[in-house]
Amino acid sequence: MKQYALITGSYWVFTLTDGALRMLVVLYFHELGYSPLDIAFLFLFYEFFGIITNLFGGWLAARMGLSATIISGLFLQTFALGMLLVDSSYLTVAYVMAAQALSGVAKDLNKLGAKSSVKLVAGDNQTKLYRWVAWLTGSKNALKGVGFFAGGAGLATIGFTASVIAMALCVGVVGAFALVLLDTNLGKASFKPKFSELFSKNRQINLLSAARLFLFAARDVWFVVALPVFLQLELGWSSISVGTFLAAWVIGYGLVQAIAPKITNIVHMRVPDGREALLWCLPLVTVPVAMALGLQQRFDPAAVIVLGLACFALVFAMNSALHSFLITSYANSDGVSLDVGFYYTANAVGRLLGTVCSGWVYQAHGLAACLSVSAFFIALVLLISLQLPRDA
């Protein structure tokens, strides 16, 4: 439990700085005159290398222990932040993409360790596992929202460089503590996994991974680049207003995830299975459709965005929490990081797809088109969820 507490604490600090960095990069480079598509490309390697990291990180953690991935992630993030501490004339698209690539590797190494450790601590108690996964995921996203606010506020008050220095110091200190205190044997598999075992051979994990891919593509296709730029460019919001609003959304989204077990217990009175994943996906598809229609009918765009995001946060958080529980439930305890790593590889593919589409579709067709693409991705999640196991 002490090890789990240390892992969770490092995950919280990492998430806080990662959220702040994302908001800093989006808003700062928009101020420098970068187009929405250029900004999307800044995150291209961040997401692409997340795919590679989750796939190979699960194998690495199974062979060397979860501490190896967590500590590596913390120090890589410190180095990636240090890369941004150069004169703005050197911050080209290619250079920032390289820095964001390292940051993406760092983030997924850290997340893989934190999520895999829950299975080891909770064991086969499904109710406890559901509660703990929901709490870890929800608290992480709430802190990411605080990071969004910190990024917007930091840019408006102390500037880009000072904000990056503060984050690098925080992550570096936590990395030093983790290096000294983490158990090097935590999460090691009893066998030596082969490269051929990187890809899951379990049908239910493959289905859930495919659903996760399109679920996060549906979120990021309008949330990552299109929404912050729309709020600044179309609605005239300041950077601190954008950061505060998105922070409030992510915090609310995280709180809903944290209490997901209480919500599903009221509605279904059992440990969730594929039926709940399907039922919670049904209302999700209607939200981006309603928002797109509202924008096309020229309703007040601020009202459409605020109300639509509130509805989307509630239903998306429940879908994400259910998926996060199901993967830890399906995963094998011996070498858990292999199954979790494969699942989050699909998650990273979805984020990459959504991020690229967010900049491209918004620049070509606007926010309503991004929302329409989001609805299409959620419809694919719905079709995949029909095949998930119905046994609790």
Other beta carbons less than 10 A from residue 192's beta carbon: 11
Residue 199 is predicted with a pLDDT of 61
Kindly report which listed range (132-141, 244-253, 264-273, 376-385) carries the lowest average pLDDT score: 264-273
Per-residue H/E/C for the chain: CHHHHHHHHHHHHHHHHHHHHHHHHHHHHHHCCCCHHHHHHHCHHHHHHHHHHHHHHHHHHHHHCHHHHHHHHHHHHHHHHHHCCCCHHHCCHHHHHHHHHHHHHHHHHHHHHHHHHHHHHHCCCHHHHHHHHHHHHHHHHHHHHHHHHHHHHHHHHCCHHHHHHHHHHHHHHHHHHHHHHCCCCCCCCCCCCCHHHCCCCCHHHHHHHHHHHHHHHHHHHHHCCHHHHHHHHCCCCCHHHHHHHHHHHHHHHHHHHHCHHHHHHHHCCCCCCHHHHHHHHHHHHHHHHHHHHHHHCCCCHHHHHHHHHHHHHHHHHHHHHHHHHHHHHHCCCCCHHHHHHHHHHHHHHHHHHHHHHHHHHHHHHCHHHHHHHHHHHHHHHHHHHCCCCCCC
In the structure encoding, which two tokens stand for residue 16, read together?
A: 């806080």
Residues in the chain: 392
Sign of CA dihedral 35, 353, 153, 92: negative
Kindly report which listed range (159-163, 335-339, 366-370) carries the lowest average pLDDT score: 335-339
Residue type, 49: F
Token pair 């989050």 is found at: 344
- Whether residue 260 has pLDDT greater than 80: yes
Cα–chain center distance at 12: 13
The overall average pLDDT reported for the chain is 84
Q: What is the C-alpha to C-alpha distance for residues 218 and 357, in angstroms, rounded to an integer? A: 10
- Whether residue 292 has pLDDT greater than 70: yes
Of residues 277 and 56, more confidently modeled: 277
Nearest residue to 168 via CA among 2, 16, 342, 332:
16
Residue 187 is predicted with a pLDDT of 60
Other beta carbons less than 10 A from residue 283's beta carbon: 13
Residue 121 is predicted with a pLDDT of 72
Per-residue CA distances from 186 to 42, 182, 213, 214, 341 (Å): 34, 8, 28, 32, 16
What percent of the chain has pLDDT above 90? 23
Residue 290 is predicted with a pLDDT of 94
Dihedral of CA atoms 336, 187, 180, 163 in degrees, nearest 10, equals 0
Residue-wise burial string across 86-97, b where 16 or more C-beta atoms lie within 10 A, e elsewhere: eeeeebeeeebb
Mean pLDDT (whole number) for 328-346: 78
Q: What is the C-alpha to C-alpha distance for residues 175 and 172, in angstroms, rounded to an integer? A: 5
pLDDT tens digits, 92-117: 878 888 888 888 888 888 888 777 77
List, in order, residues 6 or more apart from 286 with CB less than 8 Å away.
none
Instruction: Give Dmax over CA atoms of the chain in angstroms.
Output: 60
Domains, the chain, with CATH or none: 2-186+197-385 (1.20.1250.20)
Say whether pTM exceeds 0.85: no
Give the best-scoring range by mean pLDDT among 124-128, 194-198, 224-228: 224-228
Residue 244 is predicted with a pLDDT of 79
| Burial (0-12, 13-18, 19+ Cβ within 10 Å), 128 | middle
Q: What is the C-alpha to C-alpha distance for residues 226 and 235, in angstroms, rounded to an integer? A: 13
Residue 201 is predicted with a pLDDT of 63
Sign of CA dihedral 165, 78, 23, 95: positive
Query: Crossing angle for the helix pair 301-330 and 126-157, nearest 10 degrees?
Result: 140
pLDDT tens digits, 156-173: 888 888 999 999 999 999
In the structure encoding, which two tokens stand for residue 137, read together?
A: 């995921």
| Burial (0-12, 13-18, 19+ Cβ within 10 Å), 120 | middle
